[in-house]
Structure 1
Amino acid sequence: MDSGTLLSFLLVDLLLVCVPGADWAYVITAGLRGRSVAAAVGGLVSGYALHTVLATAGLAVLVAGSPALLTALTIAGAAYLVWLGWGVLRRPAIPEAGTSDLAAAAESGWRVFLRGATISGLNPKGLLLYLSVLPQFLVTRDARLPIPTQTAALGMLHMACCAAVYLTVGVLARALLATRPSAARAVTRTSGAAMLGIGTFLLLQRAF
């Protein structure tokens, strides 16, 4: 695996990560509600760490080859997104000015982290990314590094991309909308609707 291969994967991966989805919706919501953006992003990245471990160990292929297991993961992840999205739509309130970020982080940081890990960990789209995109960049002929090592390296690069993009999104959302309560509530509702819509789509996709 050379630098050209890594750069190509980085460009493709950044393009995918920069497409708004459930991860974006969650980190924006966490930031606008006064919760720790770092905890939310850490949770999301931890979920992808699980995908990396599965792919490196070869277990991802087994999951993809088991329709029942993949369906169960899809339903669980989609239902969780629907639940989170509905909760955000019901309570789109934004913290008032002067709320301490440190206090909010201490109060709910661990819960925010776990929710993020659940969202990305149960996201079958993330698993399929490791199965369909990542393998295209593995060097199988005359490779200097074993396939598991290459897989782990690309997986960690994906995690780094997620961390950089999601931290930027969360911090910018909080900075730009902190003094605009009405705009912040609108964005929060949009994020909740996105999670609800994505979860519903995945459920309907499996149902039909």
Structure 2
Amino acid sequence: MQNYFSLLFYIKRSKADCNGKANVYLRVTVNSKRAELSIRRKINIDRWNSSAGKAKGFSKEAQELNRYIDIITNKIHKIHQRLVGENKTISALKIRDIYNGKEEKHKMLLKIFQDHNDQVEKLVGKDFAPGTTERYRTAKKHIQNFIKLEYNLDDIPVKDVDHKFINGFEYYLKTERNCSHNTAIKYITNLKKIIRIAYAHDWISKDPFFNWKARLKTVD
């Protein structure tokens, strides 16, 4: 997917201090979604060129501010280029956080699953039946045991869930847990919902279930 990406430096004239100076802000826009940050510099509102997004004139103050703006612009573009090169999901918030030194930590699969289950439990009797919450708890427990057996870990980043993981989990359910085909598919469908949540929140760049089809067997 092509990402529309732009930068805008601006001031908030209405919030100028008693000396007529206002903070300079940067707005990052990716696909119409914005993130803003202060660049921790001020300028007199009469010396700001809104259309250029820079200070007016050639005073020492103006030249220093404009050089600083150029440095920030270069850094932001490098962050954007790195994300494109790594084929990662790009958002204005992500670019801002990386610039601020807050590179996101990997979202963990079981943590997302537990947060989902906690929400489902609070909606029992409204949106969900008690049996639904029990099924999600059991599905999470099976995944937790599979991760421990297969990877010797307590949890894995949700981005590491791929076709190999899905097929391995199905095999685990049918062999180690002695689940029938249909029961195994139901637990995998529970996992699929968690992955869709991660995809919707941009925690993963692609859905490993994209080509996966649930095929239940007819039972006589």
Superposition TM-score, scaled by structure 2 size: 0.24
Higher strand share: 2
Greater relative CO, 1 or 2 (CA 8 Å, sep 6+): 1
Higher helix share: 1
